[in-house]
Structure 1
Amino acid sequence: MIGAMVCGGAAADDAQAPGEIRVMAFGDSLTAGYGLARDDGFVPQLGVWLRENGTPGGVPVRLINASVSGSTTAGGVRRIDWALGDAPDAMIVELGGNDLLRGVDPAETRANLEQILSKAAEKDIEVLLVGLIAKNNYGPDYRAAFNAIYPDLAQKYGTLLMLDFFAALPDATGDLVPNVQNDGTHPNAKGVSLIVEDIGPQVQDLIARSAENAE
């Protein structure tokens, strides 16, 4: 896992600064930075956004990238205990896209995400839950079941919620080419910057909730 101070310090080491909030991105290729130069990935760009826009109360923040390209929610369950060993105060949980691509039963996806959120709740870790929106590839019943997972679990566990990771990308015409890589799926550097601008205020809210929790 890679950590970097984004406010209140320059270089990152393993020592936690006084009052520091450790925010972990726990997801798949969308937050791991697949296909991008290191500085163009989600976590580095989020760090830049937080430096430019500030953190609540100026609290020092360390971003930790614990995302794994190709991860499903089942993979997330298998590695959650290991990831929590890095002692995050808050988590951005972004999983389910690969479940969706594989047509995994939404009940299985829900159960896996619930295990992850339950582990976070046990350790009093604040969470921003990030989902994707199912289209009609697998029919309306699948779409309805999948799309209900994130709001239902956010309500049950009291997490912050972002319903669609790609919400900031202009797609009214279905033309995402300027904002995605050649595979047609993963955001390019520009696409990531738009996503970061969209999610940034919610990450600030996540940091604020975590700071309050630590008092």
Structure 2
Amino acid sequence: MSFCASPESKEEVQSETQTEEAEVSESNTQKTILFFGNSLTAGYGIDQDDSFAGLTQKRLDSLEINYRVINGGLSGETTAGGLSRLDWFLEDKPDIFILELGGNDGLRGIKIEETKSNLLGIIDKVRAKYPDTEIILAGMQIPPNMGQEYTNRFAKIYPEVAAEKDVTLIPFLLENVGGIPELNLPDGIHPTEEGHQIVFETIWPYLEDKIEA
């Protein structure tokens, strides 16, 4: 016995097919921005939507720019940890890759050479798999807990890596936020919602330059 679909059923099937095709088409054309970092990226202590990564998605949506933002932040992450977990995030191509790691290395006094080597390794791994991916390196500074010489040397890692690998450098991610009590949580390290807004505005010009509308 055979059944003929009613006109309503045909319309429903057609509508569902068109929706599925539209979703596939959108997923094929939508580009990806991957923020890869530590608790700063993760938005420690605040709602993730209010982190600078979340604010990036809000700005893109408001401008109707077809990008999705992936927040690859992990609290406590070091450059070594980032290098070891990177493969999982590279299963899909990031069109723009923002690297925000190293702060925990500096706070723990990890050897400068090791931190630099890991940052170089992360960039190399991204480029080996996706040569066309745009890479932005977020520069970081640390308080002089480990001595001024270490602090000064640490700050130089980022421009050195950016120059060696020819990637875009944000000189200091926490510009106008780091060290300002009212813009940070009580731990003095992680920005408040207001602090993240300022960090986002620091990032946006570098990111906007890479975005294809």
SS of 1:127's equivalent in the other structure is: strand
1:141 matched to 2:149? The reply is yes
Counterpart Cα distance in 2 of 1:202 and 1:14: 30
Alignment partners' CA distance in 1, 2:82 and 2:38: 9
Which residue matches 1:166?
Answer: 174
Do structure 1's residue 180 and structure 2's residue 198 form an aligned pair?
Answer: no
Amino acid at match of 2:191: P
Q: What TM-score, normalized to structure 1?
A: 0.80
Q: Which amino acid aligns with 2:67?
A: V
What are the within-5 Å matches in structure 2 for residues 23-34 of structure 1?
23-34=33-44
Q: Which has a greater percent of helix?
A: 2
Q: CA deviation at 1:102?
A: 0.4
1:131 corresponding residue in structure 2: 139
Do the aligned partners of residues 186 and 15 (structure 1) sit closer, same or farther apart at CA in structure 2, a change above 3 Å counting?
farther
Residue 10 of structure 2: aligned partner: none
TM-score (norm 2): 0.81
Greater alpha carbon shift after TM alignment, 126-135 vs 72-81: 126-135
Deviation (angstroms), 1:59: 4.7
List runs of 5+ in structure 1 lacking aligned partners.
1-12
Displacement of 1:89 after TM fit? Answer: 1.5
Letter in 1 for 2:147: G
| Separation of aligned partners in 2, 1:153 and 1:115 | 10
In structure 2, do the counterparts of structure 1 residues 165 and 140 end up closer, same or farther at CA, with 3 Å as the change threshold? same
Cα RMSD, aligned residues only: 2.1
C-alpha offsets along residues 21-42 of structure 1, whole Å, 9 cap, x if unaligned? 2110000000111111232122
Structure 1 residue ranges (4+ consecutive) displaced by more than 4 angstroms after TM superposition: 13-16
The 3 A distance-change label for structure 1 pair 188 and 18 is same
> Contact (CA 8 Å) 1:71, 1:95: kept in 2 or not?
yes
Pair 1:196 & 2:200 matched:
yes
Q: Contact 1:49–1:197 at 8 Å: present in 2 too?
A: no
How many percent of aligned residue pairs carry the same amino acid? 37
The answer as to whether partners of 1:27 and 1:67 remain within 8 angstroms in 2 is: yes
CA deviations over 1:29-65 (Å, ceiling 9, x no partner): 001111112321221112223344x4xxx75111111
Q: Look up the match of 2:20.
A: none
Aligned twin of 1:44: 54
Which of 41-50 and 105-114 deviates more? 41-50
Q: Which residue of 2 aligns with 1:152?
A: 160
Change (3 A) 1:140 1:178: closer
C-alpha deviation, 1:134, in angstroms: 3.3
Larger relative contact order (Cα-Cα within 8 Å, sequence gap ≥ 6): 1
CA gap of 1:120–1:204, structure 2 versus 1, over 3 A, is same
Q: Which residue in 2 is equivalent to 1:8?
A: none
Residue 211 of structure 2 aligns to which amino acid in structure 1?
A: I
- What is the CA deviation profile of residues 38-96 of structure 1, one whole-angstrom value per residue up to 9, with x for unaligned ones? 321221112223344x4xxx751111111111100011011011111132121110000
Tell me, which stretches of 5 or more residues in structure 2 are unaligned?
1-22
